[in-house]
Amino acid sequence: MKQNDLNELLSKVPQVTLLFWVTKIFATTFGETAGDAVSMSLNLGYLVSTFIFAFVFIAFVIFQIRAETYRPYLYWFTIIASTTVGTTLADFVDRSLGIGYLGGSSLLLSLVLLSLYSWYRVEGSISPHIQKPRAELFYWITITFSQTLGTALGDWSSDTAGLGYTGGIMLYVVLLLIVTVLYFFTRTSRVLLFWTAFVLTRPLGAVVGDFLDKPIDHGGLALSRFAASAVLMIAILICIYISGRVNGQKVAEAKSH
């Protein structure tokens, strides 16, 4: 096994495979439905919901950074926490602050780029295969901004751009297919493609989540936010279980060689 492959297996985060992206999309869709369930269905509002989810997210990040090895459930629940706080934070920035989806998206894109730039200046790399605590802190800061940006982009495409939920889903699926083609058929930076895909899977999940729970007269399916979140959580847990088993087997094989 190549050293780079071994480093990926021993990283604090999962290997980037098809299952990784499937789990990520489920998680981001859950973040949308669960975030809306707390802020809207429970009428707690965007700001209060953001504080609640931010507290949970920070707690998970602390445990994640303190962990010495990759722990599938801890990692993915940290991702879930980041996407729920991203949902309510983006809604607060876009709606409560009154700067609109385009303004919110522009602001959040600037924050994503700033976090990546700062990360690169300090660590000399923005590779997602992290092993050091300081790099992992930058990793989670970038993820938080990217999850929030993704929510704003999803709302912008379905509402402001007038694509609706179906059009928004098609847009982000096409963009992700382009990234996939670039990955397999060009020499485009793998790190750049990773972060591009990471950002794009968030608005895809946001639009899918809105499609599931928004009223029929708004183009949605009017499903219960709590029921949709429960089904998505089951799907996420299945994916985490499978990825944990696969990763464990690969690490054991790598160490035996």
What mean pLDDT is predicted for residues 214-231?
Answer: 88
pLDDT given for residue 156 in this prediction: 87
Q: Over the stretch 43-67, which tens digit does the pLDDT of each residue have? A: 888 889 999 999 999 999 999 999 8
pLDDT given for residue 21 in this prediction: 95
- Please report which confidence band the pLDDT of residue 132 belongs to, taking 50, 70 and 90 as the band edges: confident
- Please report which confidence band the pLDDT of residue 3 belongs to, taking 50, 70 and 90 as the band edges: very low
Q: Over the stretch 163-204, which tens digit does the pLDDT of each residue have? A: 888 999 999 999 999 999 999 999 999 999 999 999 999 999
Report the distance separating Cα 89 and Cα 174, nearest Å: 27
Q: What percent of the chain has pLDDT over 90?
A: 49
The total number of structural domains that make up the chain: 1
Query: Which residues constitute the domain of residue 109?
Result: 3-256
End-to-end CA distance of the chain: 8
The answer to whether residues 79 and 140 touch, using CB atoms and an 8 Å cutoff, is no
Structure-block tokens of residue 191: 């790190």
Report the distance separating Cα 185 and Cα 94, nearest Å: 37
Report the distance separating Cα 137 and Cα 54, nearest Å: 15
CA distances (Å), origin 151, targets 91, 117, 213, 215: 8, 22, 15, 19
